[in-house]
Structure 1
Amino acid sequence: MRSTQGMQLAIRLACLALFVAVFAAAHRQRVAQGRRARQLAEAGGEGGEGGVQAAIVGGAKAAKGRYPYLVSLRRNVPGHPHFCGATLIAPRILLSAAHCFWDAAKANSSDASVKLPQARIGGYESRGGKYEARQVVDMLTPAAYNPRTQQFDVAVLLLNKPSAASPVKLAAGNRKAEPPLKEWQQVYSAGWGRLAHAGALPTVLQEVALGYVPRANCSKQLPQVTKYRSMICAGSPLGGRNTCSGDSGGPLLRKGRRMQGDIQIGVVSFGFSCSGKLGVYSSVPYLKFWIRQAVIPGAARPARAAAALRSARRLAAAPPAPPPAMDELKAKLGGLLGRGHHAERERPLDESQLAAAADPRAMPGRRLYQEDRHTLIPDFSLPGPSKAGVPCQFMAVYDGHASHKGSEHASRRLHDYIAAQPAVQACTGESCDEQKVEAALTAAFEGADEEIVGKAIERGDRYGTTAVCALRIGSALYAAHAGDSRAVLCRDGHAVSLTRDHKPASVPEERRRIEAKGGQIVYEADRVVSNPEGVRHSRLNMSRALGDPDFKEPRRLVEAAPDVARVELRPGSDTFVLLGSDGLFDVMEPQQAVDLALQALVGQPSEASAEAAAGVLVQEALRKGSSDNVTAALLLLDWQRAAA
C-alpha cells in the first residue's frame, strides 16, 4: 500500500516538474520574442542604417535619397494618383506586383495604353519634389498568376526610356529553398501606402523594419502559404508593423550599409490587416526564373563557337503591351527583356547582363516560359565551290513545346547539318540541283531530329520543337518547315506563303498517314495522341516536329521530314522573308504582317529597321490577344551584294 502511494506521489511530482519546465520554456520564448520585437522597434539593425522608429503602422519617414531605385506608380486621376510601388531592376525595367495591373491586363483593348501608369523614380515627397518621370509602355505578368490566391503575384514593366538611377540588386534564384534568412532576421519595406487601414496617406516616403518569418511558421497563421512556394512572409511578433494599401508592388529588402548593398528578396503582395502580425510577399528567389525569362531570355545559353555563327543573333524577350507608340520601341530596346523552370534557368541573374542591349523580336506573351528560339546568319559561310559575290543567308525560327530544350538544341545544330550537306555546298544559286537540295534539307532535319530525340530519351524527357528555316543562295530561296511555324515572302508588297501548317486532323494527307500507322487523332482538338505503348500519354497539335520521342517510338506518328519550297527570287520585287511562330500567325494574316513590316521598314532597309519591324509585329500580335510565345524574324534580301 505504501509502495503504491509512493509511486503515485513520484508520478505527481514528475508531472509537476514537467509542467514547470514547459511553462519556463514558454516564458523564455515570450521573453525572447519581446526582446526581438523591441529590437525591431529601435533604430538600426543588421547592416541597416538606422532611423526606423515606432510610428503609424510601425513605420517612419525614410531618409531622403535612401531608396533611389524605389518607384511610385501613378495614374492620371484627381486626388492621390499613387496606387502601387515598384523597384528599378535595370535602366528600363521595373519590378512590381501583378495584382496592381490585373484590370488592365484583362482589358486587352486598343486603348489599354491609357491604363499603363506613369513612374516616378527616386522621389521622396508624395506630391512635388525631385524625381525622374518615365512612362510605362509595356507590361508582363505570369500566365500562372492567380488573382484569387495571389500566386505568382509579380509583374515586369518596360519604361519608355532608361533611368539614370541605380537599380536594386535581386536575390539569387532558388526554387527549392527559402531566402537564406533566420527567423525574425531584420528586413525592410518602403513605400507611399496608407499609414493605417483606411487611414491617411503619407506626405513623404515611409519605411518599416520587419522580421522575416519562415514559411513553416507563417503557414500556421496563413495556411495558403503552405501551398505556394512563390510566397514568403514578414511581420512583427507583436503586430503593429506591416505594409498597407498602396505599398503593393514595393520591395522587401535586406538592407546594406549603403543603398548599393540592398538586396530585394520579395515584392509586397497582400495581408489581412495593415497592423497585423504578418504580411505576404512574392518570393524573388523563387520567381527569379520568371523574372529572368521576362528580362533576358537566353541569358544562360552557351556561347556559339562556330565561325559560321559569328553573325548569328540571339533573341531577347519583352513583355506584352499595347501597340508601340514611341520611336524607342521601333529600335533595339535599350536594356532588356525571357526563362523557365529547368535547371539552367535557375542560375542567379547576372546583373551585368541587364545592361546589354536587347531585341524585341521574341516575347513570352502571357506564357510563363519563353520556349521560342531563333537563328539569323546574314553571312552563311558554306564550303564547296567558290561563292564570291553570291549572297548566302540563313534564318530559322523554332517553337519548342514541353520545354525550351528542343528549340534550344535545334537552334544550335540544324544549320550545321544543313551546311554539311554536299548538295547544299555544291549549290551556287544559278546551278543548284533542286531535288538534291530538297533531299539534303530533309536529311538535315532528320539528322537533327535523331539527335534531339536521343538527347531527350537520355534525359528521360519528352520535349520537341517546330522548325521553319529560310536558306538563300544567290537567287534561289529554299523554305523548309516541320510544324506550324510559317515562312512568308514579301514580293512587290504582297505576302507569298511558303509553308502550310502540319496539323493531324485538318490536313487530309497528314491524317491518312497517322491513321495508316494505327495512330489516334482527337478531331475536335486537331491533335495526335502519343504511342499508347509509351509510358506517358500526351497529345500534340502538329503532325511534324523535331524531337517528341513519345510520338516517334515505337510507331513514327509524327514525322521530322520537312516540306520544302523553292522560289526563284526576283531582284527589286522580293524585299524580305518573314518567319514567325504560331503565336504571331494565330492572330495575324500573312498580308497583315507584311503590311506592318513594310510600314516599319522606312527609308533604306537595314538590319536595325528589320529588328524594329519584327518588334512592331510582335507588339501587334500581343495587342491582338496572342497568349502564346511570339517570335517574328525578318531576313532582308541583300540585292546590293548580288549585283556586285
Structure 2
Amino acid sequence: MAARQERPSDRFRGSWGKRLGLALALITAVALGGTAVPGVAQAKPDVVGGTRAAQGEFPFMVRLSMGCGGALYTSQIVLTAAHCLDRTGAITNITATLGAVDLQSSSRITRTSSYVYRAPNFNESTYVNDWALVKLSSPVTGLATMPIATTTAYNSGTFTVAGWGAAVEGGGQQRYLLKATVPFISDSSCSSSYPGEIVNSAMICAGYSQGGTDTCKGDSGGPMFRATTSGGPLIQVGIVSWGYGCARPNAPGVYTEVSTYASAIAAAAASL
C-alpha cells in the first residue's frame, strides 16, 4: 500500500506504507521528490487528470514544506494526515504556504509551525486514524477556513480534490494548484479493489473504475470536499491518505473519513 507521500513506510499516495506491501518493487523504481525536513515524514501525491484552480477558488488550501497538503481548520490550525508526520510535539521546522495557487507567487503567505498533534492511535501499517493537526506560529487573517463534516450526511456523491502533488504517477510536485472531481465509491467496492488491505468504515473511497483522475504523490493530507447544497458552502469529508499508484484502473483513492474523527479533531484543536 502506498500513501501519497514519500515515506517508505507509508502507502503509495500519501506516504508509502500499504501500497509498499504489495508493490515495493514499483515504489523503489519511482523517483522521489521533495526536501527532507527533520522529524517530518516526506510526502508525495498530486492531482492526476486535474485542471488548474483559480486564484482564490479554494482559499483554505495549504501546502506543507515536507511535501504534503492540508486545509485551514481554524485561522491557526491546519488539518492534514498523520502519515505526513512522525510524532506529536513542538515541531517548528515546517513551513506552510497559503493564499496563492502559485507556490512562487509574491502574494503567498507563509507561516512556520509551532506544534504538531498526530493522532495518537494512528496505525502505520493499516492507515487507520490517519489525521493530524499542525499549529501555525501565528493566525492567518483574510483566508477562509473550511468546516469538517460531523455526520455522514455528505459522505456520498461527487467530491472535489485539490493539491500541488504529481500530475502523473512518478512525476514531480507542481507549482500550481490543481483540482479534480471524483465520485464516491462504496466501502465494499473499494475493499474488492484492495484485497488483503483494510478498508473500514473510518475510510472513504472515491475515484473512477477506469482510472485517469486521482490524487497522487504530494497530495497526502490534502482535503476532499463537496458543497453542502447545490452552490452552497464547502465542507471537508476526507483527507488524502493512500491508494495503489495514481489514477490506475480499479484502484480508487482512499481517504480518512473526517466525520468519524470530527469530535477527536475538535478536542485536539481546542487543546493546542
* Equivalent residues of 2:216, 2:246 under 8 A apart: yes
Counterparts of 1:145 and 1:236, CA distance in 2: 28
The superposition leaves residues 485-532 of structure 1 with CA deviations (integer Å, 9 ceiling, x where unpaired) of xxxxxxxxxxxxxxxxxxxxxxxxxxxxxxxxxxxxxxxxxxxxxxxx
2:118 is the counterpart of 1:147: no
Partner amino acid, structure 2, of 1:89: Y
Counterparts of 1:57 and 1:160, CA distance in 2: 32
SS of equivalent residue, structure 2 residue 236: strand
The superposition leaves residues 341-398 of structure 1 with CA deviations (integer Å, 9 ceiling, x where unpaired) of xxxxxxxxxxxxxxxxxxxxxxxxxxxxxxxxxxxxxxxxxxxxxxxxxxxxxxxxxx
Trace 1:94-173 onto structure 2 (pairs within 5 A).
94-102=78-86, 105=87, 113=91, 116-164=93-141, 165-173=143-151
* Equivalent residues of 1:225, 1:232 under 8 A apart: no
* Equivalent residues of 1:189, 1:253 under 8 A apart: yes
SS of equivalent residue, structure 1 residue 294: helix
* Aligned counterpart, 2:70: 86
Partner amino acid, structure 2, of 1:161: S
* Aligned counterpart, 1:284: 258
* Equivalent residues of 1:97, 1:155 under 8 A apart: yes
Q: 1:260 offset after TM fit, Å?
A: 7.0
* Equivalent residues of 1:265, 1:284 under 8 A apart: yes
Counterparts of 2:130 and 2:112, CA distance in 1: 22
SS of equivalent residue, structure 1 residue 290: helix
Q: Structure 1 residues 204 and 256 mapped into 2: Cα distance closer, same or farther (>3 Å)? A: farther
* Aligned counterpart, 2:24: none
Q: Which has the higher helix share?
A: 1
Q: Structure 1 residues 58 and 281 mapped into 2: Cα distance closer, same or farther (>3 Å)? A: same
Counterparts of 1:192 and 1:283, CA distance in 2: 21
SS of equivalent residue, structure 2 residue 191: helix
Counterparts of 1:255 and 1:148, CA distance in 2: 32
Q: 1:135 offset after TM fit, Å?
A: 1.3
Q: 1:131 offset after TM fit, Å?
A: 2.0
Counterparts of 1:209 and 1:186, CA distance in 2: 7
Q: 1:128 offset after TM fit, Å?
A: 2.9
Counterparts of 1:259 and 1:225, CA distance in 2: 35
Q: Structure 1 residues 237 and 250 mapped into 2: Cα distance closer, same or farther (>3 Å)? A: same
Q: Structure 1: any 5+ residue segments left out of the alignment?
A: 1-55, 76-82, 297-316, 319-644
SS of equivalent residue, structure 1 residue 67: coil
Partner amino acid, structure 2, of 1:160: S
SS of equivalent residue, structure 1 residue 210: strand
Q: Which has the higher strand share?
A: 2
Q: 1:256 offset after TM fit, Å?
A: 6.1
Number of residues paired by the alignment? Answer: 222
Q: Structure 1 residues 126 and 279 mapped into 2: Cα distance closer, same or farther (>3 Å)? A: same
Q: 1:179 offset after TM fit, Å?
A: 4.8
- Calculate percent identity across the aligned residue pairs: 30
Counterparts of 2:189 and 2:131, CA distance in 1: 23
SS of equivalent residue, structure 2 residue 84: helix
2:228 is the counterpart of 1:248: no
Partner amino acid, structure 2, of 1:290: A
SS of equivalent residue, structure 1 residue 127: coil
SS of equivalent residue, structure 2 residue 201: coil
SS of equivalent residue, structure 2 residue 242: strand
Counterparts of 1:286 and 1:181, CA distance in 2: 11
Partner amino acid, structure 2, of 1:255: A
Q: Structure 1 residues 71 and 258 mapped into 2: Cα distance closer, same or farther (>3 Å)? A: farther
Q: 1:246 offset after TM fit, Å?
A: 0.6
Counterparts of 1:195 and 1:69, CA distance in 2: 21
Partner amino acid, structure 2, of 1:86: G
Counterparts of 1:181 and 1:198, CA distance in 2: 29
Counterparts of 2:241 and 2:247, CA distance in 1: 15
Q: 1:117 offset after TM fit, Å?
A: 0.6
* Equivalent residues of 2:95, 2:111 under 8 A apart: yes
> What is the aligned-residue RMSD (CA, Å)?
2.2
Partner amino acid, structure 1, of 2:78: L
SS of equivalent residue, structure 1 residue 289: helix
Q: 1:150 offset after TM fit, Å?
A: 0.9
The superposition leaves residues 593-618 of structure 1 with CA deviations (integer Å, 9 ceiling, x where unpaired) of xxxxxxxxxxxxxxxxxxxxxxxxxx
* Equivalent residues of 1:154, 1:282 under 8 A apart: yes
Q: 1:225 offset after TM fit, Å?
A: 3.9
* Equivalent residues of 1:71, 1:123 under 8 A apart: no
* Equivalent residues of 1:66, 1:259 under 8 A apart: no
Greater RCO (CA < 8 Å, at least 6 residues apart): 2
The two structures have a TM-score, normalised by structure 1, of 0.33
Trace 1:428-447 onto structure 2 (pairs within 5 A).
none
* Aligned counterpart, 1:238: 210
Counterparts of 1:202 and 1:117, CA distance in 2: 19
Q: Structure 1 residues 62 and 141 mapped into 2: Cα distance closer, same or farther (>3 Å)? A: same
Partner amino acid, structure 1, of 2:62: V
Counterparts of 2:48 and 2:55, CA distance in 1: 20
Counterparts of 2:210 and 2:234, CA distance in 1: 26
Partner amino acid, structure 2, of 1:57: V
Q: Structure 1 residues 259 and 292 mapped into 2: Cα distance closer, same or farther (>3 Å)? A: farther
Q: 1:180 offset after TM fit, Å?
A: 4.2
2:73 is the counterpart of 1:73: no
Q: 1:145 offset after TM fit, Å?
A: 0.3
Counterparts of 1:204 and 1:256, CA distance in 2: 26
Q: 1:289 offset after TM fit, Å?
A: 2.0
Q: Structure 2: any 5+ residue segments left out of the alignment?
A: 1-46
SS of equivalent residue, structure 1 residue 242: coil
Counterparts of 1:251 and 1:179, CA distance in 2: 17
Counterparts of 2:74 and 2:232, CA distance in 1: 14
* Equivalent residues of 2:62, 2:70 under 8 A apart: yes
Partner amino acid, structure 2, of 1:206: L
* Equivalent residues of 1:67, 1:259 under 8 A apart: no
* Aligned counterpart, 1:618: none
